[in-house]
Amino acid sequence: MVLITSGYFNIRMVLIYKKIKILTVILLLFSFTHVVYANNLTVKLEGKLPKAVHRNIHSYLGKLPTTELERSAFINSAKGNINKALQSLGYYKADIIIIVKKISVKKATSQLIVTITLHDPTLISNIDVSIIGDASDDIAFIALMKNNDIKQGDKLHHGKYETLKSNLLSLALQHGYFDSSFIENSITINASYDYADIKITFDSGPRYRFGDVSFNDFDLDTALLSSLTPFKQGEFYSANDFHQLQYQLQSTQYFSNVNVAHAQKIQDETNNQYSIPINVLLTPAKSHQLDFGIGYATDTRFRLSAGWRTPRINKHGHFQETKIEYSVLNPTGKFIYSIPLSHPKNDILQFKLTVENDDFADLTTKFYSVQIGRQVSNIWNRQVYIRLHQEAWEYDLDEINPNIIWSEKDNVQYLIPGVTWSKTSRSGSALDPSAGFRQTYNIEGAHLKAGSDNSFFRVHGRWSYITTLKTNHRLVTRAELGAIYIDRDAELAPSLRFYAGGDQSIRGFAYQSIGSTIPSSSDPNKAVPVTVGGTRLVVASIEYQYYLNDKWRLALFSDGGSVTNKDEFEPVYSIGSGIHYLSPVGAVKFDFAYGIDNDDKGWRIHITLGAEL
C-alpha cells in the first residue's frame, strides 16, 4: 500500500506541476498580449484643425499608455483633455466624437479616432490690465504693457494670458518689487461662449533699494571690494546688478567660492523706505595655482607649457602670473605682475618681462622685453605702455659663401611707447560662437634720440568676423593690415617686422615664410632667397563652414595676402578644405591647403586648436 500510495502521490505531483506550468505560460501570454495591445494604441485626429490646435491636443493627451490600466484611463479621460486643449486656445464651442477602433485582433492594435468640428472661437470683448503701486511709473512696466500681445477682438488664448501674468511677476522680481501680488486676475466668458472679458489688477507694492553690502572677514582692502560692487547703497534694486556683483567677484580669481544672497528685508512704512541688504560670503582661492599642458600646431609643432599663478599676493590685490612654453621653433617665458588701481580687473598697472626665441623661416632671433603699462577695460580694452626691447638675430645664409652685407649678427635696443585697443562682441558659445566681431589696433614707435638705436613708427590692425547664414551654415572672415615707417638705411629687428604664412595667417605656406627676401650668397649662382619680413602687410581670409552635427563640421576656405616693403606688392594665395572636431576645449581643425606663389605650388596640412574669436 505504501508503494501504491507513493506512486499515486508522484503522479498527482507531476499533474499539478504540469498544470502550474501551463497556467504560468497562459498568464505570461495574457500579460504579453495586453502590453502589446496597450503599446499599439494610436491616436488619429480628424477634422479641419489648425496646426496649433493639433499640437495642443497631443500635448494635453500626453504620452500613450503602456499598461492596460493606463490605456483605460487614457481613453476615459481623452474627451476631457481634448476639451481643455481646445478651450485653452479659445475654442469653447466644438463637437467631439471619439471612437475606439480595433485595427487588427491578431496583432492586438487599436486606434483612438477623434473627430472634431470647431465652431467660432471665443473673442476678447474687453481687456482691463492695470498696475498700481510704485511700478505704475516704472518705464520697464510701461514698455511691457505697450508690447502686450493681448488685444481687444483677438481670439481668447489662455497661454498668452498666463504669459502676461508671468511676465508681470518676473519683471517685478527683477526690479525689486518683492511684495507684489495680483489683486484680481480673471477671465469671464458669457453664457453663449462668444465673448470673454479679461481683468488683471497687479499691485507691485513699494520698490526696494539696495541696502548695506556685508562681506565676511577677508584680508582684502575695503576699497577694493567696494570697487567690485556694481551698485551703491540706496540705489533701486536690479537683479542684473545683483548677479553682476557675483560675476565681478568671481572674475578676480581671488576666491574659490563666492556666495551672494539677499538678507532680511527692511521695511520702514512710516518713512516709505524699503531696502534689502546683501550678504556676501567669500572663500579664498589657493595661494598658488599650477598648470601644465601639452599641445601641437603645425606652426610651432609640439609645445610643452607650465604656468604658476598667485591669485592674491597681498591685501591690496596684487597678483602674478609666470608662464614658460617650450617648442623647438618658439620657446618663450613670461612674467606678469599686476597691481589693481581703481578696479582689480578693469583698471590695472602691469609689469611684464618677456624672453623669446624665434626660429623664423630663414633666420633665428632672441629678444628680451621689459614693459610697464596701464590696462583699462570697459567697452574697449585699452593698454598704454612703454617697453625696453633688446634683440639679437642672425640670418640662415650660405655657409661657404654667405651674403657679406647681411652676414653679421645684429643686435639692437629700442625704447618703445605704444597703445593697443581691442574689442570683442560675440553671441552663442564662447568656443564656437554663432556670430561675433573682434577688432584689434596697435600703434607704437621709437626714436633715435629717445634711447633707441634707430627710429620707426608701426601701425597694425586685425579683424575677425563670424556670422551664421542659416542653420548649420557659418561664415568666418578675417583681415590684417600693417605698415612700418623707417629710414631705408636702418634695419628693424625681426620680431617687429611683418610676416605671413601659417595656421593663423595664409594657410598653404610655412610659418612666417612670406615676406621680402635677400640672397643667401654673394655668389649669384648659389644664392637662394632668404625671407627677412617686410614693412607692408595685407592678409585676408574667407571660410565657409557646414555643420554635420554638434561635433563635426566641414570647411572650404581661401586665404591670400602680401608682405613686402614700400611700393611693392607680391600677392600669394591658397585654397583648401578642412574637417573640424568641436571638442570641449575648442575646435580641433585639420585643414588641407594648396598654396600658390607664382610657379611655386604645393599642398600643406595645418592642425590647430582653438576658437576663431
Find the CATH number of the domain harbouring 579: 2.40.160.50
Query: What cell numbers appear for 494 in the block?
Result: 625681426
Q: Average model confidence (pLDDT) for the chain?
A: 88
Contacts of 610 (CB under 8 A, 6+ apart): 586, 587
195 and 137 in a single domain? The answer is yes
pLDDT at 132: 96
pLDDT at 613: 83
| H or E element, residue 128 | strand 123-132
pLDDT tens readout for residues 459-469: 999 999 999 99
Beta bridge partners of 107: none
CA 405 to chain CA centroid, Å, is: 52
Q: Can you tell me the mean pLDDT for 44-64?
A: 92
pLDDT at 489: 60
Query: Domain boundary at 87, 118, 149, which?
Result: 118
280 and 158 in a single domain? The answer is no
pLDDT at 2: 31
Query: Domain boundary at 284, 313, 330, which?
Result: 284
Asked whether residue 61 is assigned to any structural domain, the reply reads yes
440 and 454 in a single domain? The answer is yes
Report how far residue 266's alpha carbon sits from residue 209's, in angstroms, rounded to the nearest whole number: 10
End-to-end Cα spacing for the chain: 98
When pLDDT is cut at 50, 70 and 90, the band that residue 188 belongs to is: very high
Q: Can you tell me the mean pLDDT for 498-512?
A: 92
pLDDT at 36: 37
448 and 556 in a single domain? The answer is yes
421 and 535 in a single domain? The answer is yes
DSSP 176: T
Q: Strands 586-597 and 600-609: what pairing?
A: antiparallel
When pLDDT is cut at 50, 70 and 90, the band that residue 528 belongs to is: confident
- Specify the number of domains making up the chain: 4
pLDDT tens readout for residues 60-116: 999 888 888 888 899 999 999 999 999 999 999 999 999 988 876 666 678 899 999
Q: Can you tell me the mean pLDDT for 292-317?
A: 88
565: exposed, middle or buried (Cβ count in 10 Å: 0-12, 13-18, 19+): middle
Q: Strands 516-519 and 529-533: what pairing?
A: antiparallel
Contact criterion met (CB below 8 Å) for 440 and 418: no
Asked whether residue 301 is assigned to any structural domain, the reply reads no
pLDDT at 474 over 60: yes
Asked whether residue 157 is assigned to any structural domain, the reply reads yes
Work out the widest C-alpha separation in the chain, in whole angstroms: 133
108 and 142 in a single domain? The answer is no
pLDDT at 267: 94
Report how far residue 322's alpha carbon sits from residue 309's, in angstroms, rounded to the nearest whole number: 6
CA angle in degrees (0–180, nearest 5) for 417-423-428:
155
545 and 508 in a single domain? The answer is yes
66 and 159 in a single domain? The answer is no
Domain coverage including residue 131: 123-203
Cβ contacts of 100-106, under 8 Å, gap ≥ 24: 100/75
Report how far residue 538's alpha carbon sits from residue 123's, in angstroms, rounded to the nearest whole number: 64
Most confident range (mean pLDDT) of 46-50, 362-366, 524-528 is: 46-50
Asked whether residue 144 is assigned to any structural domain, the reply reads yes
Give the 3-state secondary structure of residue 429: coil
For the chain, what percent of residues have pLDDT higher than 70? 90
43 and 167 in a single domain? The answer is no
pLDDT at 203: 97
pLDDT tens readout for residues 375-392: 999 889 999 999 999 999
Asked whether residue 328 is assigned to any structural domain, the reply reads no
132 and 263 in a single domain? The answer is no
Say which CATH number the domain at 220 has. 3.10.20.310
Report how far residue 437's alpha carbon sits from residue 468's, in angstroms, rounded to the nearest whole number: 12
Helices (H), 382-448: none
Query: Domain boundary at 83, 118, 153, which?
Result: 118
Q: Which of 301-305, 481-485, 500-504 has the lowest mean pLDDT?
A: 301-305
Asked whether residue 341 is assigned to any structural domain, the reply reads no
Closest CA to 394 of 418, 437, 427, 359: 359
When pLDDT is cut at 50, 70 and 90, the band that residue 7 belongs to is: very low
Closest CA to 118 of 96, 137, 94, 101: 94
Most confident range (mean pLDDT) of 327-336, 549-558, 582-591 is: 549-558
pLDDT at 397: 72
pLDDT at 103: 76
Report how far residue 369's alpha carbon sits from residue 391's, in angstroms, rounded to the nearest whole number: 9
Asked whether residue 317 is assigned to any structural domain, the reply reads no
Length of the chain: 613
Q: Which of 36-50, 159-173, 250-264, 299-313 has the lowest mean pLDDT?
A: 36-50
Asked whether residue 193 is assigned to any structural domain, the reply reads yes
134 and 99 in a single domain? The answer is no
Q: Can you tell me the mean pLDDT for 189-211?
A: 96
107 and 136 in a single domain? The answer is no
Closest CA to 403 of 411, 413, 412, 394: 394
pLDDT at 335 over 90: yes
pLDDT at 411 over 70: yes
